[in-house]
Chains A and B, each alone.
Chain A
Amino acid sequence: MSRGGRAMFDLFARVFGREDASKDVAKERLRLVLVHDRASLSPQALDELKNDLVNVISKYLEIDQEGFQVDFSRHEESMALVANIPVRSVKRRTL
């Protein structure tokens, strides 16, 4: 197909809803990839976060540090920080 013919074909494909303008695809892909890029922590920072979490939670609960896991969970639209914290026992409240 000639250059003009190709452009015409693309235009028709778009008008009839078969294909998005490629720049919209690019924008949407960028938006998603940047959500992840911007929220990412370095492995070192993630380790520090884990340690801080252990310290805070240990004030209230006795936790199993071996099974303690923190990681990012990626979804299409967003990111979540997911923690799995096995609890041994609830600390008895002292008044």
Chain B
Amino acid sequence: MGEAIVITSGKGGVGKTTTTANIGAGLAQAGSRVALIDADIGLRNLDVVMGLENRIVYDLVDVVEGFAKLKHALIKDKRFENLHLLPAAQTRDKTAVSPEQMKHLVESMKDEFDYVLIDSPAGIEQGFRNAVAGADKALVVATPEVSSVRDADRIIGLLEANEKHKPCLIINRIRPSMVKRGDMMDIDDMIEILAVQLIGVVPEDEAIVVSTNRGEPAVMNSNSRAGEAYRQITRRLKGEDVPFAKIEEESGLFGRIRRMIGGFKG
């Protein structure tokens, strides 16, 4: 029996889709059977971040409405044979699917996969309720900014009221140099405010843009600092106790060379 994990945030644009793609690829790389569900109906994105956009035939709504079988709608990732994507419908809206239907679908997928990762849309409306409906666990993504932390607090409140979800926090786009000079909240500040368990800290990293351009999750790039952060999250999800290293800005010649190599190799 697999585990279903929803990646959510409240606020849009903080890195939910990037996180889902990278953790999914990371878990598959580590040998788990993984399915990704893009629950952002109407704003399909996970397919392009994964580089699988040209292979979509059926989508989530087709499966829920019984128009297509799950096994025909799932896209198999060529890089990892144990990684699959169920894309969102692009021309429908969130009300095309109900929380009960999502719960049923996710439940059935847990028989076949070790991890079912659900990429949630922004907001706290039905799209969010659909995304969390079948989840055993929630990862809340927040950036070190007032509006993002505020929305994360709201989401954590909603998840905790729901009881079965135990939210864990992923801090995304942290910039060590800004933290150092006191112009960005650090990890401790955010944990203190949100009073929640931390599962990962992902630095701001140009390699994310490069990897999104190419449709290859940064977790596959051994030179990317964000990729390393996602590999650590993957290990923590698998139950390993990975200490939180202090993230340092890579500066000077060495850092620049590393970044160049990382950027070119993709």
Contacts and interface: CB of A to CB of B under 8 A. Distances in A.
Interface stretch (B51-59, B69-77, B179-187, B237-245): B179-187
Interface in B149-193: 149-150, 153-154, 157, 179, 181-186, 189, 193
Q: Is the interface of B mostly helix, strand, loop or mixed?
A: helix
Contact of B182 (A22, A33, A34, A37): A22
Given A10-B181, A23-B184, A26-B146, A38 B189 contact: no
A7 interface: yes
A29 to B, nearest CB: 6
Contact of B193 (A11, A24, A30): A30
Contacts of B183: 10, 21-23
B182 A30 contact: no
Contacts of B153: 34, 37-38
A38 B157 CA distance: 8
A74 interface: no
Contacts, number: 40
B182 A27 contact: no
A11 B181 CA distance: 8
Contacts of B149: 30
Nearest to A20: B182
A31 interface: yes
A20 B185 CA distance: 13
A27 B185 contact: yes
A14 interface: yes
Contact of A37 (B150, B185, B189): B150
Q: Is the interface of A mostly helix, strand, loop or mixed?
A: helix
A35 to B, nearest CB: 11
A7 B181 contact: yes
Contacts of A10: 181, 183
A31 B193 contact: yes
Nearest to B192: A27
A48 to B, nearest CB: 16
A22 B179 CA distance: 10
Contacts of B181: 7, 10-11, 21
Given A30-B193, A31-B193, A34-B193, A23 B150 contact: no
Given A23-B185, A27-B185, 5 more contacts: A7-B181, A14-B182, A21-B183, A27-B193, A34-B193
Interface of A: 7, 10-11, 14, 21-24, 26-27, 29-31, 33-34, 37-38
Interface of B: 145-146, 149-150, 153-154, 157, 179, 181-186, 189, 193
12 contacts: A7-B181, A21-B182, A23-B179, A23-B186, A24-B182, A26-B145, A26-B185, A30-B146, A34-B153, A37-B153, A37-B154, A38-B157
7 shortest interchain CB distances as A-B pairs: A21-B182, A22-B183, A23-B185, A26-B146, A23-B182, A30-B146, A34-B153
